Structure 1
Amino acid sequence: MTQEPRAERIAKWLARSGVASRRDAERMIGEGRIRLNGQPVTHPATFVSDNDIVQVDGEPVAPPQRTRLWRYHKPDGLVTTHRDPEGRRTVFSAMPEDMPRVISVGRLDLNSEGLLLLTNDGALARRLELPSNGWLRRYRVRVFGVVDEARLAALAHGSVFDGVRYGPITAVLDSRKGDNAWLTVSLREGKNREIRKVMSGLNLHVSRLIRTSYGPFQLGVLPRGALEEVSPRVLRDQLPKAEESPAKPRTRAGGQSDRAPSGD
């Protein structure tokens, strides 16, 4: 007897297929961008199986595969979104042709570079983005201006700039030459452009920002623009750490590039 394919809600199916987080998939349904077997999907409670044909913006979506994760050395000059209204080059347009559809874990803005995690599992991406997971994000930051080490140290207790409260940030002066200095900056949450805004509050202009690690995953010597898949063994070893502090999702409305700012 042939077993019927397992059916699940289409938003969850799309998340497992790497299209978007579940919340963003629901938004896309509301925008009329999803079709099931040629018909528009109007409700996120619609059920789908791997035998069905699902399209996003007219393009077919492959059924969910095993969870995969990649390290990518993002160059500056790329935006972390699938579609850019200004026509700028995106991270995803730089992927190899045989790359499955993936989404980013958080994001790095246009002028930021360094480690960007990519996955084909939207639910995993959302889980790894949550500040409650406690994963440390570390950056090398070049700033222009007069560095006050006492004010840097005070960031560890949290700060408020322009009416916005930021969580603890560890910022250490590594080197200084004239009005230019290199800092190592570490944080666990990540409001939109957080490092740039906090440094601006200290009268420092960020001229370069490089993410060097995200949780246990390191940029290391991965060349600029290079992509490397995390092995299944490492994935099994590290992912339980992201589940030690389960949290309720808090996805903002908006495009998938706005799911969870990276703090850059």
Structure 2
Amino acid sequence: MPPNSRKNPRRKTGLSTRTRTRRPITPRPSPQHKKSDAEGERLQKVLAAAGIASRRESEQLILEGRVEVDGQTIVELGTRVDRLRQNISVDGEPLPRPKLAYYAVHKPEGVVCTTKDPSGRPRVTDLLPSGLGRLFSVGRLDMSSEGLILVTNDGALANELTHPRHGVEKTYDVQVTGHVDQTVLSKLRKGIHLAEGFARVVHVRTKSRRKNGTVLEMVLDEGRNREVRRLLARVGHRVQRLTRVAIGPIRLGEMPAGTVRRLTSEEIKKLRAYVRQAEQKPHNNQKRLDRPATRQAVLSWRDRKQQAAAGKHSAKKPNRRGGQR
């Protein structure tokens, strides 16, 4: 059969041989809700926490157009809102705004910071008095550590305290094995390579020495998982006890383990002022993560790049004719 005798069925029906897929059109959020879409909590979660209905029933209320935020009817389940700063109403009835609460907790070892724990382990929120409503921990402190953790229902302040761009400093008393010398302290200040990049402490000093160990004071402005333990493990010292003693201007003081106290109005003002100052302070977190900490590390990093580039060019691939290109 001649090569041109075959008929293209697509041409017969007048269809193009090239199929085009159209992207679904997603409506742009209104200017009124641009900020709430990026921050805050999901609307159905806020409704459920307020006791309006269950999470699934709250989703149905939204889909039925019975929920308004700042006077605008919301029908999208992904909408995020800030209950403390926005007016939310269901069937025309406004949600009562919760009273802001701020607590300092001395978390003991063996207590987790999560709001829900499927394993049934004791939580930080279990240490609080009953009847306070929904509260959550600000940041985290691993189960084997103890010390200060803040608990609140102020989502905006919690976000400012935990966001990397603010660089809120946290102070720890760390008891480690062995005697820590100045060489180790210098390494911690210059920076140490972890799995996700370079990290270094803001401040470190020796508080006391014991027969088989050392107590350090360390200040960090990042919130990476188990960062203190990982940094000290890289310099050959195992952490025996880790206690967070301060978050910004808030100190643990003489609070016994497992106790709770409400922050004073003066402490809350200091905390807000500290966050504003920290936001204006320049931070080079990304630069610290990506670039080596010492000149020797920079040189070896450049050598590795040159070797990798040389190896890439030396590996010749055969072209279609079987030769080298």
Task: Give the alignment's TM-score, normalised by structure 2.
Answer: 0.59
Residues 149-200 of structure 1: CA deviation (Å, up to 9, x unaligned): 3122231222213463213342212222232211111111121100000011
1:74 aligned onto 2:107: yes
State the alpha-carbon separation in 1 of the partners of residues 60 and 44 from structure 2: 19
Larger RCO, structures 1/2 (Cα 8 Å, 6+ apart): 1
Query: Which of the numbers 85, 90, 97 marks the counterpart of 1:52?
Result: 90
Q: CA deviation at 1:96?
A: 1.3
Query: Which of the numbers 149, 154, 172 marks the counterpart of 2:205?
Result: 172
1:226 aligned onto 2:244: no
CA 1:161–1:36 in 2, change beyond 3 Å: closer, same or farther? closer
User: Which amino acid in the other structure matches residue 122 of structure 2?
Assistant: R
State the alpha-carbon separation in 1 of the partners of residues 258 and 36 from structure 2: 31
Q: CA deviation at 1:111?
A: 0.8
Q: CA deviation at 1:77?
A: 0.7
Residues 66-118 of structure 1: CA deviation (Å, up to 9, x unaligned): 43321111111101001113221111122211223111111111011111011
Partner in structure 1 of residue 306 of structure 2: none
1:64 aligned onto 2:97: yes
CA 1:78–1:12 in 2, change beyond 3 Å: closer, same or farther? farther
State the alpha-carbon separation in 1 of the partners of residues 179 and 56 from structure 2: 52
* CA RMSD, Structure 1 to Structure 2 (Å): 3.3
Paired residues for 1:156-167 under 5 Å: 156-162=189-195, 164-167=197-200
User: Which amino acid in the other structure matches residue 45 of structure 1?
Assistant: T
User: Which amino acid in the other structure matches residue 105 of structure 2?
Assistant: Y
Partner in structure 1 of residue 58 of structure 2: 36
> Structure 1 segments of 4 or more deviating over 4 A?
26-29, 32-35, 46-51
Partner in structure 1 of residue 230 of structure 2: 197
Q: Which deviates more, 116-125 or 160-169? A: 160-169
CA 1:184–1:27 in 2, change beyond 3 Å: closer, same or farther? farther
Paired residues for 1:124-139 under 5 Å: 124-139=157-172
Sequence identity (%):
30
1:241 aligned onto 2:246: no
Query: Which of the numbers 243, 248, 261 marks the counterpart of 1:210?
Result: 243
Are the aligned partners of 1:157 and 1:169 in contact in 2 as well (CA < 8 Å)? no
Q: Which deviates more, 62-71 or 95-104? A: 62-71
State the alpha-carbon separation in 2 of the partners of residues 38 and 80 from structure 1: 31
Q: CA deviation at 1:214?
A: 0.3
State the alpha-carbon separation in 2 of the partners of residues 238 and 89 from structure 1: 28
Task: Give the alignment's TM-score, normalised by structure 1.
Answer: 0.72
CA 1:28–1:158 in 2, change beyond 3 Å: closer, same or farther? farther
User: Which amino acid in the other structure matches residue 43 of structure 1?
Assistant: L
Partner in structure 2 of residue 155 of structure 1: 188
Q: Which deviates more, 174-183 or 194-203? A: 174-183
State the alpha-carbon separation in 2 of the partners of residues 69 and 211 from structure 1: 18
Query: What secondary structure is seen at the aligned counterpart in 2 of 1:97?
Result: coil
State the alpha-carbon separation in 2 of the partners of residues 210 and 46 from structure 1: 35
